[in-house]
Structure 1
Amino acid sequence: MSQTVKLTASDGAVIDTYRADPAGKPKGGIVVLQEIFGVNPHIRRVADGFAAAGYLAVAPALFDRAKPGVELGYTPDDIPLGRDLVAAVGHDRTMLDVAAAVKAASEAGAVGVVGYCWGGSLAYAATCSLPGVAAAVGYYGGNIAKSLGGGPKVPLMLHFGEHDDHIPMSDVAAIRAALPGVPVYTYPAGHGFNCDARGSYDKPSAAEALGRTLAFFAEHVG
């Protein structure tokens, strides 16, 4: 079962959140963090997939503070729109909304965070600063290599494409060097390889990464 519900952050801001419930008792909660394209059909399918795997999945609409209801596609014209919205919301306010989503997901037990692109960087940030996060997985987060000072406080797994036009393999090497205890996987694919709505989608890589992600959450979330 899925529905859109309201989520209130600690500063009083109210945003929409896509919520997908499992068929039975949840194993735990998973917060699904969007790309720069909003909580669009792809992100909703991702949340539905985690619900099908037995988790309560919540995907907060992180652009709502700047422009409610944004659902972008994957054309060249959509990319600058998404980047402008990321800047308009700002990192600190975004993390308030991520924290509110973690709290909401905690009704199901332990909480994992998974993010893609912008959300992948936010998932990493959540492991460094947010209480209530049991584990996180980041897919092709471009800002992670620039944010290695603090380091994760909970288990973290990262996925990157070896042919990513936005994230050079030198960044991946820097992440591995700075975080030697973190499993960092690479795949013969480009940026956005998990997204079945993008031309860069790589089904074998997406399937392998998902298998590792689910095993990781089974160990650390439930």
Structure 2
Amino acid sequence: MGKMVTIANETSSVDAYLSEPAGTPKGGLIVIHEVWGLVEHTKDVADRFAAAGYVVLAPSLLADTGMTPELAAELQVTLFDPEQRSIAQPKLREIMAPLHAPAFAARTTASLQACFEYLYGLPGVDGKVAVTGFCLGGTYSFSLATQEPRLRAAVPFYGHADLSVEQLRKIACPVLAFYGEQDAALVDKLPEQQKQMAEAGVEFTPVVYPATGHAFFNDTNRWTFNSEAADDSWRRTLGFLDEAMTAEG
């Protein structure tokens, strides 16, 4: 359905998958991939959102890290298989090391801002742009919300929000966040995160799915996919986005 394009502004250039609706768009949506990079699953999710009425950009943020689709497929299988996890972890740590550098965060932020500006200025989008993302993309969905006051909505799936109250106060849009109950690294922090969001005045709605872990939305990962949680979060996301796009402002 979609095609690869290059999105550029004065400070950044990034390749991205562009998927467009058949009719008049409801708005624009940035879809940020998991730690596996811009794989076919992410493009499929972008196409689903386009079929629901959105102009979608899914940027390729790991192109320079060596994370190829082939390697991503291999690591995804071995990392979540209890019998093979020890094989995958060293490889994943090596690939992921550059992602913790300030330069990567700055480059990624600039790329997401370029995507936002592209969508914001499209005819028919009328300045109505939201963001969603998964895992790494969930984390950067929170991050973009702190940096772009024109966002209409943010929908992070199992992302980290290791941000101060001062940073959270910069979020001007409603946030709908999804978690799996068994994803302890995130769920254990959620009560404190809710307190901070309330203190910052953010409209924050967390949804935690019982007996569910990380990456429950990824239907290409047989170890983590949960169809009930995926279907419910999809329904909630579309309703949340539709409401945000039709709100005044």
Length-normalised TM-score, structure 1: 0.90
In terms of fraction of residues, the more helix-rich structure is 2
Corresponding letter in the other structure for 2:20: D
Corresponding letter in the other structure for 1:93: R
Does 2:227 correspond to 1:182?
Answer: no
Give the Å deviation of 1:18. 0.3
What is aligned with 1:79? 92
Percent identity of equivalent pairs: 28
Among 173, 190, 195, the residue aligned to 2:218: 195
Give the Å deviation of 1:165. 4.7
Among 129, 132, 152, the residue aligned to 1:134: 152
What is aligned with 2:82? none
Matched residues in 2 for 1:69 and 1:24: separation? 35
Query: For the structure 1 residues 51 and 147, does the alpha-carbon distance in structure 2 shift closer, same or farther, using more than 3 Å as the test?
Result: same
What is aligned with 2:138? 120
Among 209, 212, 219, the residue aligned to 2:236: 212
The answer to whether the 8 A contact 2:150-2:172 is kept is no
Give the Å deviation of 1:131. 4.2
Gapped regions of structure 1 (runs ≥ 5): none
The structure 1 segments of at least 4 consecutive aligned residues displaced by more than 6 Å after TM superposition are none
- Which SS does the other structure have where 1:217 is aligned? helix
| RMSD, aligned α-carbons | 1.9
The correspondence of residues 51-90 of structure 1 with structure 2, limited to 5 A, is 51-64=50-63, 66-67=64-65, 70-71=68-69, 72-73=72-73, 74=76, 75-76=78-79, 77=88, 79-80=92-93, 82-87=95-100, 90=104
The answer to whether the 8 A contact 2:29-2:130 is kept is yes
- Which SS does the other structure have where 1:123 is aligned? helix
The answer to whether the 8 A contact 2:152-2:245 is kept is yes
Gapped regions of structure 2 (runs ≥ 5): 80-87
Matched residues in 1 for 2:66 and 2:56: separation? 20
Length-normalised TM-score, structure 2: 0.81
Give the Å deviation of 1:96. 0.5
- Which SS does the other structure have where 2:58 is aligned? strand
What is aligned with 1:147? 163
Structure showing greater radius of gyration is: 2
What is aligned with 1:103? 117
Among 105, 128, 133, the residue aligned to 1:91: 105
Number of residue pairs aligned between Structure 1 and Structure 2: 217
